[in-house]
Amino acid sequence: MAFRKYDPNPVAKAKIDWDREHMVHWVYPIGLNCGFIMDHADGISYYDSEGFQIYDGSSQLMCVELGYRKEYMEEVAAVASEQLKKLPMATNFWGMVNDATVAAGQELQKIVPEGLDAFWFAPGGGEAVESALQVCRWYWKNQGTQKYKFISLENCYHGMYWGTATASKVGRGEFSNYMAPMVPGFLAAPDYYCYRCTLNHKYPECGIECVKQIDKIIQMEDKETVAGVIVEVEHGTAGSVPSPREYLPMLREICDRNEVSLIVDEVMTGFGRCSEGDGNAFACQITGVTPDFMTMAKGITSAYIPLGAVAITREIADGLEGHFTSGPTYAAHPVSCAVAAKVMEIYQRDRIFEHAAKVGAYAKQQIQERLIDTSPIAQSVTGYGLLLGIELVKDKETGEDYPPESHKMMRVQDRALDKGLYIRVCDKSFAPGNRFVFAPPLVTTEAEVDAMIDILDETLKEELASEYAEGSRA
């Protein structure tokens, strides 16, 4: 990512230079940075050190659900300040109880799928998923079984710890090669990327063959050895690729029939990000499926402060009763839990999920009409709620892709950034397709959606013109 219009003042430039030499940034080459300072935020935008406004078209990492509305930031900051003054740290170990953790758990209980009845909090999303994998194996050992294997999907992302990175399949080895060998007992199944189906089928005539493959893998491996299947309802990191609506109910039936735990990773899709219709907190609620384990983070605090969580059914909780294991120092940190309780209260009080569903439907329609139907390189828009993915292709008729060496997606990202819009992108060097994500904060208005689509429209038109100018398109 490069912001070519940025001209920092001397103080800002000195900080950028120091950062480049001393700080390590994830998902960016060591020794480099993007070259500008994110200084402050307001509304659904952040501003650089020189005051240039940048719409946050992807909620940073699809996590800042309340955006940067001053009223929300001040309300949440007051709660954090009060908790810091009252009880700044309280361990979750040894059965210790505090008001903030109980409040967060009670607010969570109001919005999770029916049947999820017990919770634990983790420092973040990766820790939530890692702990869910560990506890799933632990649960099945307590039942006297030898179940230990996990099945995850191609193009999925679940985190960067050893277990979660082993489960993650997006990135073409980028997230795992450097730490190999990985954790044994993890298997991969075809995913639900219908546009370029790895099984060479066509939806819906396929009958959702990709989910049936999971059943076949369980049979081949022996169901007595398979502990769990972990899935996202919509791939986020791979470019907002949604599963067909039939997928999760079919997977629930497969897991039930084979006595395998279903783990649904809602770290990115939760807390209204995939809200549709009358509004839902979690993506699995769209089809009425309750998993055995559900992992969460990001939106639980609107990403204002780190926190993750796991919800489990009463059956899983009862299967662990009387046993104990260890956890991280910062699990259920009271300041994070106080913030989470307030944020979840805001979601319900201000009907944020209902608003997100309305704006998400509007955004999808506008992208379809203004970009997909008019641009020769915008192939489709997919996704639930306000987690939308736009696929770019060189030729709509043949589906010909832009090769990774064209750096097409980075060019699109840089061009949009110059115009005042940040979007998250991925290309075929990393993900299944050339896609960018449209996932602004859930508080975004329709007028703000229009303004961002204006920028996207200009960006794609300029990219297309540059292809003709460079001779790459006749």
Residues 180 and 102 both lie in one domain: yes
- Name the nearest CA neighbour of 104 among 322, 302, 332: 332
Residues 441 and 455 both lie in one domain: yes
pTM: 0.96
Q: Which of 349, 380, 410 is the last residue of a domain?
A: 349
Task: Give me the CATH number covering residue 374.
Answer: 3.90.1150.10
Residues 234 and 106 both lie in one domain: yes
Residues 342 and 371 both lie in one domain: no
Residues 233 and 320 both lie in one domain: yes
User: Is residue 151 one of the residues assigned to a domain?
Assistant: yes
Residues 17 and 164 both lie in one domain: no
* pLDDT at residue number 5: 67
User: Is residue 1 one of the residues assigned to a domain?
Assistant: no
Residue 262 Cα to chain centre, angstroms: 18
Residues 308 and 329 both lie in one domain: yes
Q: Which residue blocks in 148-246 are alpha helix, DSSP H?
A: 162-167, 209-221
Starting at the edge strand found earlier in the chain, the sheet holding 378-384 runs: 378-384, 387-392, 435-438, 424-426
The dihedrals phi and psi of 295, each to the nearest 5 degrees, come to: -100, 145
Residues 321 and 363 both lie in one domain: no
96 in helix, strand or coil?
coil
How many domains would you assign to the chain? 2
Q: Which of 284, 319, 349 is the last residue of a domain?
A: 349
User: Is residue 4 one of the residues assigned to a domain?
Assistant: no
User: Is residue 176 one of the residues assigned to a domain?
Assistant: yes
Neighbour-count burial of 406, counting CB atoms closer than 10 A to its CB (0-12 exposed, 13-18 middle, 19+ buried)? middle
Residues 376 and 233 both lie in one domain: no
* pLDDT at residue number 111: 98
Its domain, for residue 130, covers: 73-349
C-beta separation of 389 from 382 below 8 A? yes
* pLDDT at residue number 3: 54
Would strands 241-242 and 234-235 be described as parallel, antiparallel, or unpaired?
A: antiparallel
Below-50 pLDDT ranges, the chain: none
User: Is residue 236 one of the residues assigned to a domain?
Assistant: yes
The dihedrals phi and psi of 242, each to the nearest 5 degrees, come to: -85, 150
User: Is residue 420 one of the residues assigned to a domain?
Assistant: yes
Q: Which of 317, 349, 381 is the last residue of a domain?
A: 349
Residues 358 and 249 both lie in one domain: no
User: Is residue 118 one of the residues assigned to a domain?
Assistant: yes
User: Is residue 2 one of the residues assigned to a domain?
Assistant: no
Residues 373 and 389 both lie in one domain: yes
Would strands 293-296 and 308-313 be described as parallel, antiparallel, or unpaired?
A: antiparallel
C-beta separation of 464 from 473 below 8 A? yes
- Name the nearest CA neighbour of 31 among 39, 41, 20, 40: 20
Residues 124 and 266 both lie in one domain: yes
Per-residue tokens: 464: 């297309």
Query: Quick one: CA dihedral 137, 274, 66, 367, positive or negative?
Result: positive
Buried b (16+ CB within 10 A) or exposed e, 224-238: eebbbbbbbbbbbbb
Task: Give me the CATH number covering residue 185.
Answer: 3.40.640.10
